Structure 1
Amino acid sequence: MTTPFTVIIPARYASHRFPGKPLASLLGWPMIHHVCRRAEESGAARILVATDHREIAHACREEGREVVMTRHDHPSGTDRLAEVAERLGLDDDQIVVNLQGDEPLMPGRLVRQVALDLAAHRDAGIATLATLCHSLDEVRSPHAVKVVRDRQGYALYFSRAPIPWDRDGFSGAAGAARSPGQWLRHLGLYAYRAGFLRRYPALEAAPPEGLEALEQLRALWHGVRIHVGLAHQVPGPGVDTPQDLAQVEQLLAEQGPPA
């Protein structure tokens, strides 16, 4: 039995570090086109680009993509998805995957994996994925978000700090820290039930959310369960700055040109 799901790709023009990022050229195509291709590879029943900018909308419509124009003042991509879910009248149980518009190397199989993971865990409002850390530098980096799960795979906490803290290894009392493979790095790929998305903008922000700059902490603070699956593969890097383009373009070239 198949589980239909919708992919919504939030694509904001006014990025502080990289304005116009969704339109950046990769192999001669706007980056948003590559992201849409990853969504298509997932087997999603419906794919929408949610944007606040006419140029992004035009580029998507030229390729036959479905576009929803949204407000420009959303504080997060989740708020943008919430507007789309409300405007489209999605059923509460409809599964919506948030695929960021700067992830042209996110494998379609992971997009599908996170959607099916949420479908398999009826008591979860959100599902997401994680991979094993590969170095202690990654464990310690504030740019790599770590997650600790319970025995059933539900998130206990997300942090930019190296959690769990290796008391003896990190203090130097017992020599080198343990293998980095004992830490989980969170991937910014989420599946939501549409009913939760509609509730999200009205939820009070969580105190640790502002400190960590991690919006998923709001869901945990309000008692929403988040299931964290182990990703079937490690995705390529996203595009945060103009300097990331060359590396991502080379990796895309190795995969072959977009169809």
Structure 2
Amino acid sequence: MNALIIIPARLASVRLPNKPLADINGKAMIVRVMEQAQKANIGRVIVASGDPEISAVIRSVGGEAIDTNPKLPSGSDRVYDALCQLDNHEEYETIINLQGDLPLISPQDILQSLLPLNNPTVDIATLIAPIQSEQEKNASSVVKVACSFYKDSTTLAKALYFSRSPIPWGEGILWHHVGIYAYRKTALKQFITLPASPLEQREKLEQLRALEAGMTIGCATISHAPLGVDTPQDLDNVRTIIKENIKNDIC
């Protein structure tokens, strides 16, 4: 499939102002995310920028940035706006929306996000990883997903519901949703034209808009959820991990 990776980014953040430009061992976070996306070798990688400062940083290292309206309501809207600005946008069948706060995302995991789209009934694909601790289970910042695995598969599932609460109840694995989406282009266009749904507004999770509208979200499993950056403590943790990786010549 002819795929395009778009990373939406803007400076406005309540918990961590100017988050995309946060320095992580000599590189802005958004640059590190872009570099991980490039290593996946899927195709073109674009940063959908909501602020000129982000665009300037990306272009200074040879990356591609497209300026979008900073008032757009969501990352998905920003991704679609950037897509529509491309002269050859009709050539792309699949658009990967990669969150700009995942500097530790594995290129292999990005590739994995495409797998559910091999099923023609899936509109949107995403990633899930097993929850490893009670803290992860109970943190409202960690989005959980209740899913139904396909017959004879332990790696592909259909998402039934997303929540900030631990779901489903009872014994068994709980799944951590990882913030990456692979859209069929028609599904992305449909999604951004839908109004915000009641469950989306209640849980503050835009993927519920798709489920409430009857769209199908397919999930592929990965072994560990990459650490996202939502707080200053997360940023310190990521800096420590990347510093150690550099020391060991991992990245």
Structure 1 length as normaliser, TM-score? 0.87
Higher CA-based Rg: 1
Matched, 1:254 2:218: no
Q: Deviations over 1:194-249 (max 9, x none)?
A: 22222222202221111111100000111110001111x31431111233222111
Contiguous gaps of at least 5 residues in structure 1: 167-177
Q: Which amino acid aligns with 2:121?
A: D
Q: Deviations over 1:157-188 (max 9, x none)?
A: 1111221122xxxxxxxxxxx4xx52111111
Matched, 1:189 2:193: no
Matched, 1:223 2:214: yes
Q: How does 1:138-149 map to 2 (within 5 A)?
A: 138-149=136-147
Correspondent of 2:191 among 195, 200, 212: 200
Q: Which residue of 1 aligns with 2:224?
A: 234
The whole-number CA distance in structure 1 between the counterparts of 2:203 and 2:91 is 29
Q: Which amino acid aligns with 2:201?
A: G
The whole-number CA distance in structure 2 between the counterparts of 1:198 and 1:4 is 17
Contiguous gaps of at least 5 residues in structure 2: 151-156
Q: Which residue of 1 aligns with 2:168?
A: 164
Q: Which residue of 2 aligns with 1:49?
A: 47
Structure 2 length as normaliser, TM-score? 0.89
Residues 4 and 92, structure 2, Cα contact 8 Å, conserved in 1: no
The number of residues matched between the two structures is 242
SS in 2 for 1:201: helix
| TM-aligned CA deviation for residue 93 of structure 1 | 6.4
Given the superposition, is the C-alpha separation of residues 258 and 21 from structure 1 closer, same or farther in structure 2, using an over 3 Å criterion? farther
Q: Which amino acid aligns with 2:11?
A: Y
Residues 79 and 200, structure 1, Cα contact 8 Å, conserved in 2: no
SS in 2 for 1:154: strand
Q: Which residue of 2 aligns with 1:169?
A: none
Superposed CA RMSD: 1.9
Q: Which residue of 1 aligns with 2:89?
A: 90
Quote the sequence identity (%). 38
